């Protein structure tokens, strides 16, 4: 198997990252409102297994989106995010182009947009929640679940603007999005970690 095949699946995990952050149970006073993503401090990292020999990683930068927090009722908070497939990066530039190969993202082009829009939030405790939403990737839309942890909410020491930060974890199956090529040699499951920082303008 050529290495390019192992990296191709990475594209699809990117989408999940976007879904990132949206809720905290006991939001500080004044935390409510809409927070655009800070693209310089937000990133998706995804990983997959290659024939049982190694675990490869990829990432996505330049995510656009926003988190709208409802301080009085965190379960009503929402998030939406998107990024172009061209933002997906693997371990080698040549492999970034192979994402669009047969059995992988055949329905996508570098200009195709991966998007996520939340549909509901289930608050677990003071700083943890599960966020459910629709992920659209490779022309397929499916519901995914994000495990979200609020790191911090308060004024940024740099800008003095209200800022929130989240860590998010999820996983998706490539085959759910029409990208199941080369499984199980290249794992069908993509594990995703997302870091999101968002700030009121």
The domain that holds 114 is classified in CATH as 2.40.128.110
- Of 2-6, 107-111, 187-191, give the range with the top mean pLDDT: 187-191
Q: Dump pLDDT digits (tens) for 154-168.
A: 999 999 999 999 999
Q: Dump pLDDT digits (tens) for 43-63.
A: 999 999 989 999 999 999 989
Backbone angles phi, psi at 177, to 5 degrees: -115, 25
pLDDT at residue number 30: 63
Confidence at 100, pLDDT banded by 50, 70, 90: confident
Please identify which residue in the block is written with the tokens 């700083």. Answer: 127
Which of 140, 82, 142, 143 minimizes the C-alpha distance to 106?
A: 140
- Residue 138 tokens read as 């490779």
How many whole angstroms separate alpha carbon 73 and alpha carbon 61? Answer: 31
pLDDT at residue number 66: 96
pLDDT at residue number 72: 87
Backbone angles phi, psi at 179, to 5 degrees: -130, 35
How many whole angstroms separate alpha carbon 184 and alpha carbon 182? Answer: 6
pLDDT at residue number 27: 41
Mean pLDDT of the chain: 84
- Residue 64 tokens read as 């656009």
Q: Dump pLDDT digits (tens) for 77-92.
A: 999 999 999 999 988 8
Pairing of strands 54-60, 88-89: antiparallel
Q: Which domain holds residue 142?
A: 3-199
Q: What's the domain count of the chain?
A: 1
For residues 107 and 167, the model is more confident at: 167
């Amino acid at each position: 198997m050529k290495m390019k095949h192992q990296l191709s699946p990475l594209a699809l995990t990117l989408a999940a990252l976007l879904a990132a952050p949206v809720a905290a149970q006991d939001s500080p006073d004044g935390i409510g409102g809409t927070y655009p993503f800070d693209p310089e401090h937000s990133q998706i990292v995804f990983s997959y297994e290659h024939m049982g020999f190694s675990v490869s990683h990829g990432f996505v930068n330049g995510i656009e989106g926003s988190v709208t927090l409802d301080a009085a009722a965190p379960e009503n908070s929402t998030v939406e995010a998107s990024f172009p497939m061209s933002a997906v990066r693997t371990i080698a530039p040549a492999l970034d182009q192979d994402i669009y190969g047969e059995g992988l993202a055949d329905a996508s082009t570098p200009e195709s947009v991966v998007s996520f829009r939340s549909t509901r939030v289930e608050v677990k405790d003071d700083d943890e929640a599960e966020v459910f939403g629709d992920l659209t990737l490779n022309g397929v839309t499916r519901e995914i679940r994000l495990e979200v942890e609020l790191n911090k909410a308060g004024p940024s020491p740099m800008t003095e603007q209200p800022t929130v930060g989240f860590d998010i974890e999820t996983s998706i199956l490539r085959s759910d999005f029409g990208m199941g090529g080369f499984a199980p040699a290249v794992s069908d499951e993509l594990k995703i970690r997302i870091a999101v920082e968002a700030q009121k303008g």
